[in-house]
């Protein structure tokens, strides 16, 4: 429901003390001195805390990832132990890393106090290039490691070496997707206070993963689960950067308890651009082998992920990339290797797609290079390789990250290509050219395949309220995805009651002590299925109550149309059950009609789609403008078509940003150079055309509500589709190999042609 | 636990808009014009609301009382319908009555706006004397009534007329206990906001009866129970005045929803002294008949209660007075009549004792008059009439207010008298006289009997937390009585676990949708028993779980020492059950170990006690000083002796205030004259001596935890005990017949002697 009542975390600042962080100005250095004495004496300052003062010297942000052993074995996956400190005390690893924290009566005092903290550094050589970082002889970031490798994996199947040797065509490339990320409308924000009645800290944080935040706080502080309650406020966008657990969240919890004050920290934009987890930043070195007709015979990729000074999600990102490198194509042999490198940059987390856009870019660009070499169109090369109804379901000889062997559960991926070609025909280039004579027009395509709905589980709770309405909660937190609407719909449908009788309330770690979170296009599937399951369990529980109330046998009670039918002419309603369970009712001592369900998904379900785009490349400047855009995708049941469409369109917008504008640049010495929106360019609404979305409904058997994830799929194929179209527009063999697409390179190519 | 973390409601004002009330300056008048236009335009003013603007014209504060039909029949009880408006629109009935309400950005703006509201009155004759109010021809306050009688009752037993005619001695008197009341450290305060997520108002109010407040708001607004959540903050004292439901609470809920702002109202002290419910204000016309040896043969009283412009609790106050008029004595015949009168004064509610001190004053003063007439000492007249172990249990031929026939369940009331005489012997007057030569010394006694633990029921909830600790909640709200400690103790004992494993959290109407409240010395009995019951139900529920976990038969599982013993060498602990019930545990789908219990008490249990006091009357000024004080009482099991003792001592302090200092005075025209602490005199700590408390433990069979109420009993007998001592000190037949005891009258008596 759109009520205009949303609030930012900063709207809750009344009565709170403000927290501000002193952050490292150095990319890599030893801290030789921190003196907080002057700052601590400043008026309005409640306290200045360092790692030493909080007992946090050397204490790292706890790790989140526990990779599946079957996947680990199949991919020879090795993870290094990460030890990025919550507060740096002896060494800093990136510009923006928190070193000290001030609690003050207001933000002004807090910021002034930051400037009064004296700190001396002894600079160390900064590591900024991920490939160099992995070379022997590179400076090493962390003493407990031999080098800067944070993770590695490798898998192969078929006989790639023989296939490469025998292939009619082999195209090789190096593809780079530069560092960019979520940049939500609302930066991060955390509010915490100590409740003396319950002797616990209550923390409100703009997170996608409240239970992980709770677990991390408990792990660091040694508190039990009752000592901390984590709630999620309205969140102005997450997109993965808020699926991280941050040191700031742990610190606010500690400071609330330590100072006894209500404390708030609201990240400002400049801070956000160096302190919140960033995304992408991958280099892929690829080889694609094809037969004379353009059928893929082998595929090899060796990629490196730059995770900055750390990533709690490194296992997920590297695995996601490796798995999605195979795309929706028949690939008989592959050799995939990936590594993650530690560098002196801001940490990296999953960002909408989380490895999938990078993998898709490498594969789709390779296909386009092959098409050019074979003289095939961008649709024909794909048509020849896409899986069809004859192939599907299609098994891959590797397990997914949940250990279950991969099997694509789609219907006909080639039909999806034909759908988008019908939705946005190449012919439309002609009217585009006529309308935009100053642009060279190009047409681009990209397929994608996305594993959605990652497990292992999610929780949901439904309780019957005193007037017969229902309150629904799920473990997955909303960052603006419309959980309030969608989960109310799922519950209303499962309960066969009008949606007005269902109120979705956001979960917290008290209401639902266990939960996972919102990421990996999983909420509708996992939490939706958990809500569905809870509704059925509630009906089951209530059927017994209704039977007793009616004096009937439970087996004779049928639940239909929102009522418990005992006989043709007699039925029991939910309000009657609520009254019976209330004080003075016949079933007063029967316990609440309140069910918490856990839904476990066996494995992911796969969403496939194709993006088509027409771009214009400005003849004089090389500036790229997206003129037409279409998405066709094999989705599951749409609980709420408007929300699915909104996810796709929003995803396209973020993809266009990444393809054309967004980049966190660093100097060679590791200084961030994109610390304002003047330097980090976000797409404007005028950079986006209308997006034509075609939803090809394909049931999935993996979950009871037939849903496939769509939260990230809008983004994944945008980079490669736009690159394909720019190639087409520029012509002359021009081939985009990195994003954001360089206007300078395009300009020089136009000049040369 | 004393943590120093308590907060006043005003401490939660950050971020809230302030509410202020325009209150009537007239005791009785017709409102001819209200103009809020100027006020509404003032800077910082969000809105100015009258009854008309809120749709509240003529809408009264909902009634709380539903008297028991058996009691009503036995006492011919008749109640008039009360219609005191939430906001006065056409007529005002007392100075302090709310007429309009301002919402503004701060309290300053709000108060300024109040002054800009224009209001014209047409004065009506004020009714200030309750006996005159009941006479034919008196001006009538409410048009829907014939007169000013709000309630009446009468009962008799034995043959009082014949007994009076045949008696050796009859003493008659008129006893007045003037208007005074709770005056807690913290005035009232209400905070409300609209939660758009749940589409409900969340109201925090310093009440003793959150569920009644919720019900009243629903009744007035038509909202369902889900539309409003009422919570109770730390409360700085209640004593009955906060057991009322106030129009301000209803209005704050409406304003939060209407304005969308977080709104707060904090009653200031001047406001409190005219706007919060007051207490007492009774006139008793008595006749006591005795035989030649001083045994009571008949007792008659005709009393009038001045309830001001209304009392939601009138039925309770008049019934309480009538029932407690019989005291702990053998009384073979009685004729008791009572009426409640409406007058143009602030409304009246129960105040610590709620009719019992007034009744006790009338009866005990009559006994003292009889003692004087017979030449008996104050102890001897009581000794001859008190019930003893030979009499008890002792039935009265009337039902209690719950319909159950009255039967005193004490052990030996005369023994209690002997106890207090031993605790504070008359001999101590000698050293007192030596130490205080400027005072005339007197010794006083008073017995009391109190029905405690009024039903019908109370609720409690206990849930097992993830680490095996317990969270306990009860429907009775704490106003500082130490529920956090006492109910944690009850739960810990019932669960046989250390108290550190139990956390009591205050109830709210969401956590516990049903509950009654804290008043009538009922919390320990009712809510304590509900906690006890919930603990046993939780153990029962958990026994089945433990059995399944151990693979044993439920019948073979014994719960002792906080563990479920399956066999000699095997047991299951609460943390193990919690882990089994948590996500991933063996009993994950078994539901939460979370029990809500309702405890229904069959009837009240009776607490009897005797107070003894030595006072000094200043020879030159007549000022009375309490020098020694002792209380002996037949209490039940003391869950927490410190808290029981604190209740007794605090009760004595409030009783001394009422006996000697406190009075809300009104002019003949109905203007309140005690609107500051310069005019309303509270006792100081220096006005109280050390209080010697003797607890005579007498089990009660009425509740499972063996508790008798003690919340009010410290107050009940103070007035009559002090009056008895003053008589003794002044001598010469001086007889106190009203409170506060008039220093002027005492002075004049000293002069005369």
Contact status, residue A605 vs residue A703, Cβ threshold 8 Å: yes
Helix (H) or strand (E) holding A351: none
Does A5 sit within 8 Å of B466, measured CB to CB? no
Does B226 sit within 8 Å of A466, measured CB to CB? yes
CA B15, CA B264: separation in Å to the nearest integer? 10
CA A708, CA A705: separation in Å to the nearest integer? 9
Min Cα separation A170/chain B (Å)? 49
Provide the β-strand partners of residue B463: B471, B594
Sheet holding A605-618, edge to edge: A439-452, A605-618, A624-635, A691-697
User: What pLDDT sits at residue B332?
Assistant: 97
Chain A residues whose beta carbon lies within 8 Å of the beta carbon of residue B459:
583
Q: How many CB pairs under 8 A join A and B?
A: 88
Q: What is the pLDDT of residues B94-115, one digit of tens each?
A: 999 999 999 999 999 999 999 9
Residues B447 and B484 in one domain: no
Alpha carbon dihedral A347, A353, A354, A360, in 10-degree steps, equals: -120
Establish if B132 belongs to a structural domain: no
Please compute the mean of the pLDDT values over residues B153-162 and round it to a whole number.
97
Half-sphere exposure of A722 (CA within 13 A, CB side): 31
Contact status, residue B330 vs residue B387, Cβ threshold 8 Å: yes
Instruction: Enumerate chain B positions whose Cβ falls within 8 A of a Cβ in A.
Output: 3, 5, 12-16, 196-199, 224-226, 260, 457, 459, 465-467, 469, 484, 503, 505-506, 513-514, 537, 582-584, 588-589, 591-592, 594-598
Contact status, residue B193 vs residue B263, Cβ threshold 8 Å: yes
User: What pLDDT sits at residue B306?
Assistant: 98
Establish if A719 belongs to a structural domain: yes
CA A125, CA B446: separation in Å to the nearest integer? 89
Residues B417 and B480 in one domain: no
Does B591 sit within 8 Å of A503, measured CB to CB? no
CA B489, CA A272: separation in Å to the nearest integer? 49
Does A197 sit within 8 Å of B505, measured CB to CB? yes
Residues B433 and B472 in one domain: no
Statement: residue B488 has pLDDT above 80 = yes
Q: What is the pLDDT of residues B15-55, one digit of tens each?
A: 999 999 999 999 999 999 999 999 999 999 999 999 999 99
Q: What is the pLDDT of residues A656-714, one digit of tens each?
A: 999 999 999 999 999 999 999 999 999 999 999 999 999 999 999 889 999 999 889 89
Of A260, A467, A594, the CB nearest to B225: A467
Ramachandran angles phi, psi of A433, nearest 5°: -60, -40
Residues A512 and A433 in one domain: no
Beta strands B78-79 and A691-697: pairing type?
unpaired
Structure tokens at B314: 């009138």
User: What pLDDT sits at residue A20?
Assistant: 98
Provide the β-strand partners of residue A304: A283, A339
User: What pLDDT sits at residue B1?
Assistant: 55
CA A24, CA A126: separation in Å to the nearest integer? 13
CA A150, CA A134: separation in Å to the nearest integer? 10
Q: Report the CATH number that the domain containing residue A372 is assigned in CATH.
A: 3.30.365.10
Helical H runs in B6-80? 37-40, 69-74
Residues A632 and A713 in one domain: yes
- Residue A390's CB: how many other CB atoms inside 10 A? 8
Confidence of residue A3 (pLDDT cuts 50, 70, 90): confident
Statement: residue A224 has pLDDT above 80 = yes
Q: What is the pLDDT of residues A13-42, one digit of tens each?
A: 999 999 999 999 999 999 999 999 999 999
Among B197, B202, B222, B590, pick the best mutation site for testing chain A contact (most A Cβ within 10 A): B197
Q: From A483, A491, A526, select the one nearest A702 (Cα to Cα).
A: A526
Residues A556 and A674 in one domain: no
For the ranges A123-137, A606-620, B506-520, B736-750, which has the lowest average pLDDT? Answer: B506-520
CA B322, CA B152: separation in Å to the nearest integer? 11
CA A720, CA A715: separation in Å to the nearest integer? 10
Number of residues that make up chain A: 753
Residue B348 DSSP label: B
Chain B residues whose beta carbon lies within 8 Å of the beta carbon of residue A225:
465-467
Half-sphere exposure of A671 (CA within 13 A, CB side): 5
Statement: residue B381 has pLDDT above 90 = yes
Residues B572 and B665 in one domain: no
- Residue A361's CB: how many other CB atoms inside 10 A? 31
Structure tokens at A502: 């269902």
For the ranges A120-134, A285-299, A565-579, B326-340, which has the lowest average pLDDT? Answer: A565-579
User: What pLDDT sits at residue A476?
Assistant: 85
Establish if A79 belongs to a structural domain: no
**Cis peptide bond upstream of B416, omega within 30:** no
Tokens 């009922």 label which residue?
B522
Residues A438 and A295 in one domain: yes
- Residue A565's CB: how many other CB atoms inside 10 A? 18
Q: What is the pLDDT of residues B429-445, one digit of tens each?
A: 999 999 999 999 999 99
Structure tokens at A63: 């790790």
CA B246, CA B347: separation in Å to the nearest integer? 10
Residues A496 and A590 in one domain: yes
Please compute the mean of the pLDDT values over residues B149-169 and round it to a whole number.
97
User: What pLDDT sits at residue B524?
Assistant: 86
Ramachandran angles phi, psi of A456, nearest 5°: -80, -25
Establish if A322 belongs to a structural domain: yes
Give ipTM to 2 decimals.
Answer: 0.86
**Cis peptide bond upstream of A740, omega within 30:** yes
Q: What is the pLDDT of residues A201-216, one digit of tens each?
A: 999 999 999 999 999 9
CA A269 vs CA A183, A187, A275: distances in Å:
9, 7, 10
Confidence of residue A80 (pLDDT cuts 50, 70, 90): very high
Question: Angle CA(B310)–CA(B314)–CA(B316) in degrees, nearest 5?
Answer: 155
Does B505 sit within 8 Å of A583, measured CB to CB? no
Angle (deg, nearest 10), helices A210-221 and A247-259: 60
CA B709, CA B651: separation in Å to the nearest integer? 13
Number of residues that make up chain B: 753
User: What pLDDT sits at residue B68?
Assistant: 86
Statement: residue A548 has pLDDT above 80 = yes
User: What pLDDT sits at residue A519?
Assistant: 81
Residue A501 DSSP label: G
| Greatest CA separation for chain B | 88
Establish if B657 belongs to a structural domain: yes
Domain boundary among A600, A626, A655: A600
Contact status, residue B187 vs residue B242, Cβ threshold 8 Å: no
Q: How many domains does chain B have?
A: 3
Tokens 């009572």 label which residue?
B338
CA A195, CA B623: separation in Å to the nearest integer? 47
What domain range includes position A215? 9-51+87-124+188-266
CA B638, CA B705: separation in Å to the nearest integer? 10
Beta strands B296-306 and B228-231: pairing type?
unpaired
CA A218, CA A222: separation in Å to the nearest integer? 5
Establish if B704 belongs to a structural domain: yes
Q: What is the pLDDT of residues B327-361, one digit of tens each?
A: 999 999 999 999 999 999 999 999 999 999 999 99
CA A548, CA A703: separation in Å to the nearest integer? 33
CA A60, CA A58: separation in Å to the nearest integer? 6
CA B421, CA B610: separation in Å to the nearest integer? 9
Domain boundary among B600, B620, B650: B600
Domain boundary among B576, B600, B624: B600
Question: Which residues have CB under 8 Å from A214's CB, separation 6+?
Answer: A225, A228, A229, A230, A509
CA B638 vs CA A274, A323, B353, B417, B695: distances in Å:
61, 68, 20, 20, 9
Chain B residues whose beta carbon lies within 8 Å of the beta carbon of residue A589:
537, 597-598
Among A197, A201, A457, A508, pick the best mutation site for testing chain B contact (most B Cβ within 10 A): A197
CA A621, CA A87: separation in Å to the nearest integer? 46
Q: Which residue of A has its CA nearest to B584?
A: A598
CA A47, CA A55: separation in Å to the nearest integer? 15
Q: Which residue of A has its CA nearest to B6?
A: A196
Min Cα separation A602/chain B (Å)? 15
Helix (H) or strand (E) holding B510: none
DSSP 3-state of B721: helix
User: What pLDDT sits at residue A267?
Assistant: 98
CA B228, CA B252: separation in Å to the nearest integer? 12
Q: What percent of chain A has pLDDT over 70?
A: 99
Chain B residues whose beta carbon lies within 8 Å of the beta carbon of residue A597:
589
Q: From B71, B280, B68, B81, select the one nearest B155 (Cα to Cα).
A: B71
pTM of this structure: 0.92
- Residue B410's CB: how many other CB atoms inside 10 A? 27
Does A513 sit within 8 Å of B466, measured CB to CB? yes
Sheet holding B118-123, edge to edge: B91-92, B29-35, B118-123
Does A589 sit within 8 Å of B537, measured CB to CB? yes
Q: Which residue of A has its CA nearest to B462?
A: A591
Confidence of residue A567 (pLDDT cuts 50, 70, 90): confident
Q: Which residues of A107-121 are buried (b: 16+ CB within 10 A; e: fewer)?
A: bebbebbbebbebeb
Statement: residue A65 has pLDDT above 70 = no
Give the N- to C-terminal CA distance of chain B in Å, as an integer: 54
Confidence of residue A128 (pLDDT cuts 50, 70, 90): very high
Chain A residues whose beta carbon lies within 8 Å of the beta carbon of residue B196:
3, 5
Residues A596 and A621 in one domain: no
Residues A477 and A344 in one domain: no
Provide the β-strand partners of residue B607: B450
Structure tokens at A512: 């639902």
Contact status, residue A549 vs residue A585, Cβ threshold 8 Å: no
Of B13, B226, B537, the CB nearest to A467: B226
Chain B residues whose beta carbon lies within 8 Å of the beta carbon of residue A591:
591, 595-596
Q: Which residue of B has its CA nearest to A233?
A: B197
Of A16, A505, A583, the CB nearest to B197: A505
Establish if A680 belongs to a structural domain: yes
Of A3, A197, A199, the CB nearest to B196: A3
Q: What is the pLDDT of residues B593-640, one digit of tens each?
A: 999 999 999 999 999 999 999 999 999 999 999 999 999 999 999 999
Does A582 sit within 8 Å of B589, measured CB to CB? no
Establish if B353 belongs to a structural domain: no
Does B466 sit within 8 Å of A226, measured CB to CB? yes
User: What pLDDT sits at residue B2?
Assistant: 67
Statement: residue A1 has pLDDT above 60 = no
Please compute the mean of the pLDDT values over residues A555-573 and round it to a whole number.
91
CA B390, CA A64: separation in Å to the nearest integer? 74
Alpha carbon dihedral B241, B243, B248, B252, in 10-degree steps, equals: 140
Residues B440 and B548 in one domain: no
């Amino acid at each position: 429901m759109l009520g205009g009542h949303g609030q930012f975390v900063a709207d809750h600042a009344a009565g709170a003390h403000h927290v501000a962080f002193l952050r490292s100005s150095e990319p890599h250095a030893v801290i030789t001195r921190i003196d907080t004495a002057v700052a601590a004496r400043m008026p309005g300052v409640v306290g200045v805390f360092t790692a030493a003062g909080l007992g946090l010297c050397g204490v790292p942000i706890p790790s989140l990832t526990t990779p599946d052993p079957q996947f680990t074995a199949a991919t020879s996956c090795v993870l290094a132990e990460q030890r990025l400190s919550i507060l740096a005390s002896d060494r800093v690893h990136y510009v923006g890393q928190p070193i000290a924290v001030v609690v003050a009566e207001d933000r002004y005092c807090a910021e002034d106090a930051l400037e009064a903290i004296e700190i001396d550094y002894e600079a160390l050589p900064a590591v900024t290039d991920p490939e160099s970082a992995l070379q022997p002889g590179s400076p090493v970031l962390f003493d407990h490691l031999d080098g800067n490798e944070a993770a590695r994996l490798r898998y192969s199947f078929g006989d790639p070496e023989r296939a490469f040797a025998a292939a009619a065509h082999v195209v090789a490339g190096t593809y780079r997707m530069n560092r960019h990320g979520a940049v939500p409308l609302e930066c991060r924000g955390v509010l915490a206070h100590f409740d003396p009645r319950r002797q616990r800290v209550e923390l409100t944080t703009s997170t996608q993963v409240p239970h992980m935040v709770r677990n991390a706080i408990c792990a660091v502080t040694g508190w039990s689960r009752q000592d901390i309650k984590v709630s999620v406020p309205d969140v102005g966008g997450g997109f993965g950067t808020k699926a991280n657990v941050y040191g700031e969240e742990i610190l606010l919890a500690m400071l609330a308890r330590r100072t006894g004050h209500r404390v708030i920290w609201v990240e400002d934009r400049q801070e956000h651009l160096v302190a919140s987890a960033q995304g992408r930043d991958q280099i892929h070195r690829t080889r694609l082998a094809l037969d004379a007709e353009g059928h893929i015979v082998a595929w090899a990729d060796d990629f490196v992920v730059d995770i900055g000074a750390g990533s709690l999600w490194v296992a997920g990102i590297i695995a996601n990339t490796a798995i999605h490198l195979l795309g929706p194509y028949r690939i008989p042999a592959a050799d995939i290797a990936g590594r993650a490198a530690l560098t002196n940059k801001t940490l990296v987390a999953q960002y909408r797609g989380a490895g999938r856009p990078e993998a898709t870019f490498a594969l789709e660009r390779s296909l386009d290079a092959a098409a050019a070499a074979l003289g095939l169109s961008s649709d024909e090369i794909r048509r020849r390789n896409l899986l069809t109804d004859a192939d599907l379901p299609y098994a891959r000889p590797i397990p997914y990250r949940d250990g279950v062997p991969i099997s694509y559960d789609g219907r006909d991926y080639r039909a999806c290509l034909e759908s988008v070609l019908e939705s946005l025909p190449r012919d439309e280039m002609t009217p585009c050219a006529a309308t935009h004579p100053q642009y060279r027009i190009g047409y681009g395509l990209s397929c994608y395949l996305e594993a959605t709905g990652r497990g292992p589980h999610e929780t949901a709770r439904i309780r019957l309220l005193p007037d017969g309405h229902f309150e629904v909660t799920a473990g997955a937190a909303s960052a603006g995805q419309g959980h309030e609407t969608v989960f109310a719909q799922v519950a209303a449908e499962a309960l066969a009651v009008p949606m007005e009788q269902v109120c979705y309330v956001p979960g917290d770690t008290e209401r639902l002590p266990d939960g996972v979170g919102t990421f990996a296009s999983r909420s509708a599937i996992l939490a939706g299925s958990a809500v569905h399951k809870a509704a059925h369990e509630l009906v089951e529980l209530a059927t017994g109550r209704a039977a007793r109330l009616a004096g009937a046998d439970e087996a004779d009670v049928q639940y239909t149309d929102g009522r418990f039918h005992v006989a043709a002419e007699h039925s029991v309603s939910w309000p009657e059950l609520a009254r019976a369970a209330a004080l003075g009712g016949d079933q007063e001592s029967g316990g609440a009609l309140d069910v918490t369900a856990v839904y476990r998904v066996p494995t992911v379900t796969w969403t496939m789609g194709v993006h088509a785009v027409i771009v214009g490349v400005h003849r004089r400047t090389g500036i790229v403008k997206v003129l037409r855009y279409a998405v066709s995708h094999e989705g599951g049941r749409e609980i709420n078509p408007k929300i699915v469409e909104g996810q796709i369109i929003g995803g396209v917008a973020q993809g266009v940003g990444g393809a054309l504008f967004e980049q966190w640049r660093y100097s060679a010495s590791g200084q961030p150079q994109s610390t304002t929106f003047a330097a980090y360019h976000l797409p404007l609404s005028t950079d986006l055309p209308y997006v034509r979305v075609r939803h090809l409904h394909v049931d999935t058997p993996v979950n009871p509500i037939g849903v496939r994830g769509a939260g990230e799929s809008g983004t994944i194929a945008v980079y490669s589709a736009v690159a394909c179209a720019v190639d087409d527009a520029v012509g002359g063999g021009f081939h985009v190999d990195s994003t954001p697409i360089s206007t300078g390179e395009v300009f020089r190519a136009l000049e040369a042609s």
